[in-house]
Amino acid sequence: MRQKIKEFLWGGRSFKKEFKKEMRYLILFTLGFTIAFTWRQTIFDISLSIMKFITHLDSSFGLSLLSSILITFISLILIYFTSKWLKDKGDY
């Protein structure tokens, strides 16, 4: 009885295992978000330069809009091919 109360209040072995798993996911998500946030401006500046070179626009609004569309299009292509690549063979 005493052991059951202790496991209920402090969590059993499966609770600790699940907690470690969730903590690992939280750390991975946080680090991944930090990396993505750091590269965000660099990727935007590169796409801005590409759009300026291709279109010869001087409008900052137009360049920003075209750069965002370019990044979105490239991201959608990457998501599509990654989902195809990671799809299980039984899902076809």
Alpha carbons 71 and 59: distance in angstroms, whole number? 18
pLDDT for 91: 57
Q: For residue 11, what are the CA distances in angstroms to 5, 8, 23, 38, 43?
A: 9, 5, 15, 38, 45
pLDDT for 10: 66
Q: Percentage of residues in the chain with pLDDT exceeding 70?
A: 83
Considering only residues 36 and 89, tell me which one the structure prediction assigns the higher pLDDT.
36
Exposed (0-12), middle (13-18) or buried (19+): which is 64, by Cβ within 10 Å? Answer: middle
Cα 2–chain centre separation? 45
Token pair in block for residue 51: 């759009």
- Global model pTM greater than 0.75: no
